[in-house]
Amino acid sequence: MKGKRYNHERIARQDSATGVRVLQLTSFPTMSMTIGYTQNIFSQDSSKLIFLSQRTPQRDSPWDLFMVGSDGSGLVQLTDVDDLRSPQLSPDGKTAYYIRGPSLWAVDTQTFQEREVAVLEGASAVYGSHLSPDGRYFFIPMSRARKSTDWQQMLKDNLLVRFDIRKGVAEPIAENWVATANDPEGKGLMCINFTGKQKVYGFLRYDGALEGIFTTTHDFAHSTLLGPTVRVQGCALYPERAILTVGLGEEVPKPLVKGPYFWHSSSNLDGRWIVSDTNWPNEGLKLISVERRSFKTLLYPGNSAGHPQWTHPHPSFSPDGRKVLYNSDATGICQLYLAEIPEDLLLPENYGTAT
């Protein structure tokens, strides 16, 4: 029920192989999972975060938006709507935003009052959203197709929409670009164009102007921006086993590290560290020093790594760069976990030379 505060579900754990301390944030027997590894889901001070939790243990059950403290306290339900999409948390943690149909909505995380911010008539969200660092703009690709279930077609025929939260206005700023990552300094958005036979990776400013192209000939399994560097970092396509990086105009990505099959990777805010899950085989979460071009194992999440998204860890850093949030269905049900990065793993000199 919206506004209901629950007793904490936290369970303190320790990885048996690496000794890393992990806090299981949720444990109720319905699925809970992180929203994604490129979204604003933490408050800027890293003290709280939002996540999704399934209402009932059914395959088509709605997902509700919750908030919890990074220490596992303050568990509270923020919404009870059935069609919530692409949520984001404001930098101060006081407001959560989400899409319903053609509209951007806001919910106050203290009073739970909801309001419609703006609407783009006739549109529906494709997937993924991004909030500017100052909390003013909410970006999301939207389609004018009528209840289309053809995701590939929706990706090829979409509008990149900017919601101006301050003015309460929604406007398309570009066509056929899907925003996939946000620059942490507010310089713009990493975007992908799906209209051709080959994806095009580009960087768009917040007004929709194209700043430049990363690559038109190479693809990634999954990718984000490398902090504020305006470079793409991402996982190579299987069976290549590497984290790759590419800058504007460089065209050909270069390996940063090689090793296991890196699966979903994300950068911390300053671009000095990357965290990635692994697969085929699952070799745990890897913490990568960009400076040393080397990595170490952070922990073993025990996830099943199947097709459903809730079996993927999708790791991401807290804004202070000291914790890693991830999913795992190790208990049989997907739950949310927050790992504390040991001090010695945040010292580049402990990483040796490039792998």
Report the pLDDT averaged over residues 196-208.
96
Rounded-to-integer distance, Cα 50 and Cα 325, Å: 11
β-strand partners of 63:
54
The counts of H helices and E strands in the chain are 1, 31
- φ/ψ (deg, to 5) at 274: -130, 140
Rounded-to-integer distance, Cα 235 and Cα 59, Å: 30
Rounded-to-integer distance, Cα 190 and Cα 187, Å: 10
Rounded-to-integer distance, Cα 297 and Cα 288, Å: 9
Written as six digits, the tokens of 42 are: 């933490």
| Percent of the chain at pLDDT exceeding 90 | 89
Query: What is the per-residue pLDDT across 4-57, written as a single tens digit (0 to 9) for each?
Result: 999 999 999 999 999 999 999 999 999 999 998 888 999 999 999 999 999 999
Q: At CA 91, angle to CA 90 and CA 95, rounded to 5?
A: 25
Predicted pLDDT of residue 146: 55
Rounded-to-integer distance, Cα 215 and Cα 231, Å: 11
Written as six digits, the tokens of 261 are: 């099959």
With CA atoms as reference, report the closest residue to 203 among 219, 217, 214, 218: 214
Query: What is the per-residue pLDDT across 287-314, written as a single tens digit (0 to 9) for each?
Result: 999 999 999 999 999 999 999 999 999 9
pLDDT band with cut points at 50, 70 and 90 for residue 122: confident
Rounded-to-integer distance, Cα 114 and Cα 78, Å: 9
Torsion angle, alpha carbons of 307, 244, 328, 125, to 10: -60
For residue 180, pLDDT over 90 is answered with yes
Report the pLDDT averaged over residues 187-215.
96
Phi-psi region of 335 (alpha: psi -120 to 50; beta: other; left: phi over 0): beta
Q: In what order do the strands lie in the sheet with 32-33?
A: 5-6, 75-77, 63-69, 48-54, 32-33
For residue 152, pLDDT over 90 is answered with no
Q: Which of 143-152, 154-163, 199-208, 221-230 has the lowest mean pLDDT?
A: 143-152
Predicted pLDDT of residue 346: 97
First-last CA distance in the chain: 50
With CA atoms as reference, report the closest residue to 237 among 257, 254, 217, 261: 261
Angstrom CA distances, 36 to 46, 90, 201, 268, 278, stand at 16, 15, 20, 14, 16
Written as six digits, the tokens of 126 are: 């494709």
Give the chain's largest Cα–Cα span: 55
Strand-strand pairing, 32-33 and 21-24? unpaired
Q: In what order do the strands lie in the sheet with 85-89?
A: 85-89, 95-100, 103-108, 114-119
Which of helix, strand or coil describes residue 138?
strand
Rounded-to-integer distance, Cα 206 and Cα 163, Å: 11
Which of helix, strand or coil describes residue 152?
helix
What domains are there in the chain, each with its CATH number? 5-351 (2.130.10.10)
Predicted pLDDT of residue 125: 85
How many alpha carbons lie under 13 Å from residue 254 in its C-beta half-sphere? 8
- Omega prior to 281 cis, within 30 of 0: yes
Rg (CA), the chain: 19
Q: At CA 273, angle to CA 267 and CA 275, rounded to 5?
A: 60
